[in-house]
Amino acid sequence: MSKNLSELAGRKGVSKTLFEELGIAARQTGSPSVEKMEELAEAFVMGKANVFGATSFYDFLKPENKGKKVYICNGSSCMTAGTQPALKGKLLVHYTPDEIGDMCCLGRCHENSSFNINGKNYSGNAVDEIDSIKKNSTEVADTYHVAAYGTPVLTTPFPGINEYYSILADALKKTADELLNELKRSGLRGRGGAGFPIAFKLDSCRKETSKQKFIVCNADEGDPGAYSDRYLLEQQPHSVLLGMMIAGYITGAGTGVVYIRAEYPEAISITQNAIASLYQQNLLGENILQSGFDFHFKVISAQGAYICGEETALLSSIEGQRPEVRVRPPYPVQQGLFNKPTVVNNVETLACIPYILKNGGEKFASIGIGKSTGTKLISLDGFFNKPGIYEVDMGTPLAVVVNDLGGGFRSPVKAMHIGGPLGGLVPIEKINELTVDFESFAKNGFLLGHASVVCIPEHFPIIKYLEHLFQFTAHESCGKCFPCRIGSTRGAEMLKKAQETEYRIDRTLFDDLVETLEIGSLCALGGGLPLPVKNALQYFDKELSVYFKKS
């Protein structure tokens, strides 16, 4: 049935999508009316149940969202920082409880106390200027450290459109095969978590026969603690856009879709402005630079769903369907958006392409270590003395990141959750044993992932953090597979009950639950949650043992 719906959604292409129309309908009240949903169902030839099922899934479309005027970040970083209760107390002076909602995560992990009003994000001490913000939509500067340790690939100053897009002019003089070979030589792997070689995706899509193909940028950076994609979209948008255009040229795709999370309003407007400037310079559209290459962009604002970071759920979302994970094969490069060949890559991966084509694949491959070539952006949260975005060569000691770049911790920390909610829970004593690359983290039982860092202070209970991870997974699950949907809920219940009552968890039962999640889940949301749980049980057994039955 979903394939049929994909075909129906594709009738109007990306110029006008059901998903966008639902977002527009929700702007005034926070959720589209039943009448409007029925109207859209008829216009897009979709069933009413399909439209309601999709609408009710998203945080910023569902009926519970009506009447909200301010949103508080409930992400992991703000939670462990402990800033949100005081923030909510200050906001309650100006808003009723029913007017306050939640968002996760706003990407303001460097200073926390994050909230959103009137489509704009604020953090730090901004709440103290709430009167001015409410009356005048005052913008409060968002600043954080940005630096490179090693080779600056993604953190170099933008030289201007004309100079930068000379890379495109040179690329269009070469064949797709020549460009693809440079990417193969570079060894560039996906920076979103899986580490999959981008050249393989592009080559697979290129070999598919279709009049229409898509390049989709997965900018739904939902990992709490991560804001490296936000940095690129707001401060280096042309590296992302140019990377998508070159990917389009290689694969034969004529449309690029940038799917940006609603929690990043500034990133959406900045990216749209960057695209407009390219049209003004005649660098987008038909017959670009008289090369015969046509390419257009479409920016789509997401509506609050972590699962849309999974590539197939993202594609269903664009189509206006409920964002459920698709069974593979077929893979997106075969049947993706509207059932057409589609390459989906994250922001940082695409942003590396211009550097590679300018400097050569071998140059990029010379940076890093082993199969982890190039550089990696790392997001450091507010527990560091110098929080911010740091670009390091793959293979850089984690100790250098923590102590030299981040300046050490402001207060005692016992663990770092690296790579998002599905990443590894790294105890402080392991810092000196790790280097920033895929292999080092995997060898030590962790996951580099997005390379976001959420610190867990000494006073914060590990069991409370694990409960948070299970609750997060339960809330964000698409619901398609039982292990994720039910297992995450049962796990959260057990951990909560063990903290609030005399109930003690049966370790065999708990291990069985974790194993079922790991091997039975359809995607990495349920399948990845067991990693930090296992890390916690291994490295914090003494702290957690009081909540489990004695064997």
Render pLDDT for 448-479 as a digit per residue (tens, 0 to 9). Answer: 998 999 999 999 999 999 999 999 999 999 99
24-50 mean pLDDT: 92
Distance between CA atoms of residues 64 and 66, nearest Å: 6
Q: What is the pLDDT of residues 387-403, one digit of tens each?
A: 999 999 999 999 999 99
226-248 mean pLDDT: 97
Tokens found for residue 453:
């860092």
Predicted confidence at residue 195, as pLDDT, reads: 79
Tokens found for residue 282:
């005649």
Confidence of residue 279 (pLDDT cuts 50, 70, 90): very high
Tokens found for residue 195:
């580490």
15-27 mean pLDDT: 92
400-412 mean pLDDT: 98
- Burial class from Cβ neighbours inside 10 Å (0-12, 13-18, 19+) for residue 490 reads middle
Report which of 449, 473, 460 is spatially closest to residue 533, judged by C-alpha positions. 473
Please, what sign has the CA dihedral across residues 86, 90, 91, 96? Answer: positive
Phi and psi angles of residue 108, each rounded to the nearest 5 degrees, phi first? -105, 40
Could you identify the residue written with the tokens 């067991």?
A: 530
Q: What is the pLDDT of residues 284-343, one digit of tens each?
A: 999 999 999 999 999 999 999 999 999 999 999 999 999 999 998 999 999 999 999 999
For the chain, give the percent of residues with pLDDT over 70. 99
- By the 8 A CB rule, do 238 and 270 touch? no
Confidence of residue 234 (pLDDT cuts 50, 70, 90): very high
Phi and psi angles of residue 391, each rounded to the nearest 5 degrees, phi first? -100, 125
CA distances 380 to 12, 398, 413, 414, 448, Å, are 42, 12, 13, 15, 14
Residue partners of 99: CB distance under 8 A and separation at least 6: 67, 68, 69, 70
Distance between CA atoms of residues 60 and 220, nearest Å: 14
Q: What is the pLDDT of residues 502-539, one digit of tens each?
A: 999 999 999 999 999 999 999 999 999 999 999 999 99
51-68 mean pLDDT: 92
Beta bridge partners of 297: 256
According to DSSP, residue 310 is labeled S
> Angle, nearest 10°, between helix axes 482-500 and 507-520?
150
pTM > 0.75? yes
Distance between CA atoms of residues 79 and 231, nearest Å: 22
Distance between CA atoms of residues 499 and 547, nearest Å: 7
Report which of 434, 491, 502 is spatially closest to residue 465, judged by C-alpha positions. 491
Could you identify the residue written with the tokens 């942003």?
A: 351
Q: Looking at the predicted structure, is the pLDDT value of residue 488 above 80?
A: yes
Predicted confidence at residue 2, as pLDDT, reads: 66
Confidence of residue 138 (pLDDT cuts 50, 70, 90): low
**At residue 355, what is the residue type?**
Y
Q: Which of 10-14, 202-206, 228-232, 394-398 has the lowest mean pLDDT?
A: 10-14
Predicted confidence at residue 136, as pLDDT, reads: 77
Tokens found for residue 201:
């995706």
Distance between CA atoms of residues 530 and 526, nearest Å: 8
Structural domain boundaries of the chain? Answer: 2-65, 70-136, 145-368, 462-547
CATH number of 145-368: 3.40.50.11540
Using CA atoms of 298, 299, 305, 310 in order, give the dihedral in degrees to the nearest 10: 50
Tokens found for residue 140:
């409060």
Run of H or E including 149: strand 145-149
Report which of 248, 354, 352 is spatially closest to residue 295, judged by C-alpha positions. 248
Tokens found for residue 367:
């940076």
Q: Looking at the predicted structure, is the pLDDT value of residue 1 above 90?
A: no
Distance between CA atoms of residues 294 and 285, nearest Å: 6
Predicted confidence at residue 29, as pLDDT, reads: 87
Beta bridge partners of 100: 70
Q: Looking at the predicted structure, is the pLDDT value of residue 45 above 80?
A: yes
CATH of range 462-547; options 3.40.1170.10, 3.40.50.300, 1.20.1440.230, 2.40.170.20: 1.20.1440.230
State the chain's mean pLDDT as an integer: 94
Confidence of residue 487 (pLDDT cuts 50, 70, 90): very high
Could you identify the residue written with the tokens 């065999």?
A: 508
Run of H or E including 376: strand 375-380
- Burial class from Cβ neighbours inside 10 Å (0-12, 13-18, 19+) for residue 429 reads exposed
Q: Looking at the predicted structure, is the pLDDT value of residue 367 above 70?
A: yes
